[in-house]
Amino acid sequence: MQTRRFGRTNHMSTVAVFGGVALGQIDQPLADKVVQKVIDAGINHIDIAPSYGQAESRLGPWMLRIREDFFLGCKTTQRTKQGAIDEFHQSLGRLQVDAFDLYQLHAVTSMDELDQCTEPGGSLEGVIEMRDQGLTRFIGITGHGMHTPAIFMEALRRFDFDTVLFPIYPALMADDQYRGDALALLDMCEEKDVGVMTIKAICKGPWGEQEKRFHTWYVPFEDQVTIQKNVNFMLSHKLTHYCTAGDYRLLDNVLQACENFEPMAAAQQEKLIEEQAHFELIF
| Per-residue pLDDT, 106 | 98
Q: Is residue 105 helix, strand or coil? A: strand
Q: By CB neighbour count within 10 A (0-12 exposed, 13-18 middle, 19+ buried), where does 271 fall?
A: middle
Q: What is the mean pLDDT of the chain?
A: 98
Q: In the chain, what are the domain boundaries?
A: 12-276
Pairing verdict, β 240-243 and 195-199: parallel
Alpha carbon distance 134, 93 (integer Å): 16
pLDDT tens digits for range 20-75: 999 999 999 999 999 999 999 999 999 999 999 999 999 999 999 999 999 999 99
Rounded to an integer, the average pLDDT of 165-194 is 98
Q: What is the mean pLDDT of residues 130-155?
A: 98
CA distance 32 to 256: 20
**Whether the model pTM is above 0.85:** yes
Query: Coil, strand, or helix at residue 102?
Result: strand
Q: What is the pLDDT of residues 100-141, one digit of tens each?
A: 999 999 999 999 999 999 999 999 999 999 999 999 999 999
Query: Hey, which CATH number is domain 12-276, 1.10.260.40, 3.30.300.30, 3.40.50.880, 3.20.20.100?
Result: 3.20.20.100
pLDDT tens for residues 261-280? 999 999 999 999 999 999 99
User: What distance separates the 2 farthest-apart alpha carbons in the chain?
Assistant: 49
